[in-house]
Amino acid sequence: MKKILGLDLGTNSIGWALVNEAESGEEKSSIVRLGVRVIGYDNFVSTKTGKESKEPEKDFAGGKGISPNAGRTMKRTMRRNLQRYKLRRENLIEILKEYGFISDENILSENGSRTTFETYRLRAKAATEEISLEQLARVLLMINKKRGYRSSRKVKNEDDGQLIDGMEIAQKLYDENLTPGQFCLRLLENGQKTLPDFYHSDLLAEFDKIWAEQKEFYPDILTDKLKENLCGKNGKQTWAICATPFQIVGIKRDVKGEELKKENFVWRVKALSEKMDLESLAVILQEVNAQINNSGGYLGKISDRSKELFFNRQTVGQYQMAVLDKNPNASLKNMVFYRQDYLDEFNTIWETQAKFHKELNDKLKREIRDVVIFYQRKLKSQKGTIVFCEFESRKTEVEVEGKKKIRTVGSRVVPRSSPLFQEFKIWQNLNNIELTDKDSGEMRALTPEEKDTLFQRLQVTEKLRDKEVLSILFDKSAKKYALNYEKLDGNKTRAAIFNVLGDSGLLSFDSNKELDEQPLYKLWHLLYSYEDDNSVTGINRLVNNLKLTFGLSEETAKKLANISFQDDYGSLSAKAIRKILPFLKEGHKYDAACGYAGYRHSASSLTKEEIENKVLKDKLENLPKNYLRNPVVEKILNQMVNVTNGVIDAYGKPDEVRIELARELKKNAKEREQMTTAISESTKKNEEIVKTLQREFGITNPRRKDIIRYKLYMELAANGYKTLYSDTYIAREELFSKNFDVEHIIPQARLFDDSFANKTLEKRDVNIKKGNSTAYDFVKNEYGEDKAKEYLIKIEKLLKDEKISRTKHKHLTWSEKDIPEDFIDRDIRDTQYIAKYAKTMLCDIVKEVVSTTGSITDRLRDDWQLVDVMKELNWDKYKSLGLTEEFTNEDAAESVRLKIGQSEMTIATTQWTL
Rounded to whole angstroms, how far apart are CA atoms 240 and 451? 38
- Check residue 414 and report its DSSP letter: P
What percent of the chain is predicted at pLDDT more than 70?
83
pLDDT digits (tens, 9 = 90+) for 255-279: 887 888 899 999 999 999 999 999 9
Dihedral Cα 530, 532, 533, 538, nearest 10 deg: 120
- Nearest CA to 349 out of 322, 376, 373, 316 is that of 316
What mean pLDDT do residues 140-168 have?
A: 71
3-state secondary structure of 266: helix
Please, which pLDDT band fits residue 133 given cuts at 50, 70 and 90?
A: very high
Between the CA of residue 376 and those of 137, 316, 336, what are the distances in Å?
21, 20, 18
Average pLDDT score over the chain: 83
pLDDT digits (tens, 9 = 90+) for 107-116: 888 888 778 8
Rounded to whole angstroms, how far apart are CA atoms 752 and 455? 39
Say whether pLDDT at 622 is over 50: yes
Between the CA of residue 845 and those of 10, 605, 635, what are the distances in Å?
22, 17, 20
Burial category of 442 from C-beta neighbours within 10 Å (exposed 0-12, middle 13-18, buried 19 and up) = exposed
Quote the distance between the C-alpha of residue 139 and its chain's center.
46
Q: For residue 30, give the H/E element and its range.
A: strand 30-38
Quote the distance between the C-alpha of residue 586 and its chain's center.
31
What mean pLDDT do residues 183-209 have?
A: 89
Rounded to whole angstroms, how far apart are CA atoms 403 and 842? 28
Which range of 166-170, 385-389, 421-425, 860-864 scores highest in mean pLDDT? It is: 421-425
Rounded to whole angstroms, how far apart are CA atoms 672 and 62? 5
Beta bridge pairs of residue 437: 481
The two beta strands, 656-661 and 848-852, are parallel
Q: Is the dihedral of CA 839, 842, 844, 848 positive or negative?
A: negative
What mean pLDDT do residues 688-717 have?
A: 87
CB 558 within 8 A of CB 539: yes
Show the CA angle centred on residue 364, arms to residues 361 and 369, nearest 5°. Answer: 120
Say whether pLDDT at 906 is over 60: no
What percent of the chain is predicted at pLDDT more than 90?
37
Dump strand ranges (E) for 291-368: none
What residue type is 339 in one-letter code? Answer: R
Say whether pLDDT at 351 is over 80: yes
- Long-range (24+ apart) CB contacts under 8 A made by 619-623 are 619/644, 619/645, 619/648, 619/845, 620/644, 620/645, 620/841, 620/842, 620/844, 620/845
What mean pLDDT do residues 675-692 have?
A: 76
CB 502 within 8 A of CB 511: no
CB atoms within 10 A of CB 291: 21
pLDDT digits (tens, 9 = 90+) for 538-583: 788 898 999 999 999 888 898 898 888 877 888 899 999 999 999 9
User: pTM of the entire structure?
Assistant: 0.64
pLDDT digits (tens, 9 = 90+) for 825-848: 333 333 355 667 788 888 889 888
Please, which pLDDT band fits residue 611 given cuts at 50, 70 and 90?
A: low
Q: Is the dihedral of CA 336, 338, 339, 340 positive or negative?
A: negative
Dump strand ranges (E) for 630-770: 656-661, 740-744, 759-763
